[in-house]
Amino acid sequence: MNDRKQGLKALCLSFLAVLGLIAFTATAAQASGNWMINGSALKSNESISGASEGSSVFKVPSIKLEISCKEATVSGTLELNGLGKETMTFTKCESPGLPGCSPIEPITAKFLSEMLLHAEEPWLIFRPPVKGGSFTTIFFDPAKCALPEENELTGAFAALLGKEETTQHLLSFIAGKTAESLFGLKYSFGINPAELAISSIWELSGANKGKVWGGV
């Protein structure tokens, strides 16, 4: 278990290094990517599962809101041509700066993903299941919180996937200025620009469970 955690920390550091490099090459050509499993392109849908690495944080700087969720799980399906569908469920959430504004749980968000090759690296772009719709709605108790009772998470965000080198991938989701500069993506909490600090470990959970996989 310790070796696994050390390996994932190394992957996270590598992600930050790559992100810094790619930030200087935001105009690099983008193309569609594809899923690879044990050296072969995905031939039929494959399920994935995973969980967060550390707390998942939603930030809305303009209203000084930060929501931190200690636990999150992910499940979904990898589809042909680098596409996918995922669901993340967040629990044990609180809002340290605004104690009365802890969200009503669970928070369940649904995504459509698409793989893009950016500066020769495979990235996943996440959008709502319905074009122009939302990933989820975060609810607050109006008796305790002065913020709007219902707040939709909308727009799009991204995560660096990694190539076909490991059985587990640590995805660090980015939203806000970095995602906008790289891909032109905007992410919002209600009418306010929002940011993400979420890291999630994904692995295959279907017929190919335990196999090496990634993007190309």
Q: Which of 213, 27, 30, 15 is nearest to 114 (CA)?
A: 30
Where helices occur in 91-215 by DSSP H, the ranges are 177-183
Instruction: Quickly list DSSP for 14-72.
Output: HHHHHHHHHGGGTTS-EEE--EEETTEE--S-EEEEEEESS-EEEEEGGGTEEEEEEEE
Global pTM reads 0.85
The DSSP string of 99-111 is GGGPPPS-EEEEE
Number of domains in the chain: 1
pLDDT means over runs of 10, the chain (216 residues)? 49 49 47 94 97 96 96 98 98 94 97 94 96 97 96 97 92 91 95 95 97 96
**What pLDDT score does 24 carry?**
40
The predicted pLDDT at position 14 comes to 53
* pLDDT value, residue 106: 97
Q: What does the pLDDT read at residue 178?
A: 86
Q: Taking Cα atoms as reference points, which of 138, 148, 161, 155 lies closest to residue 216? A: 161
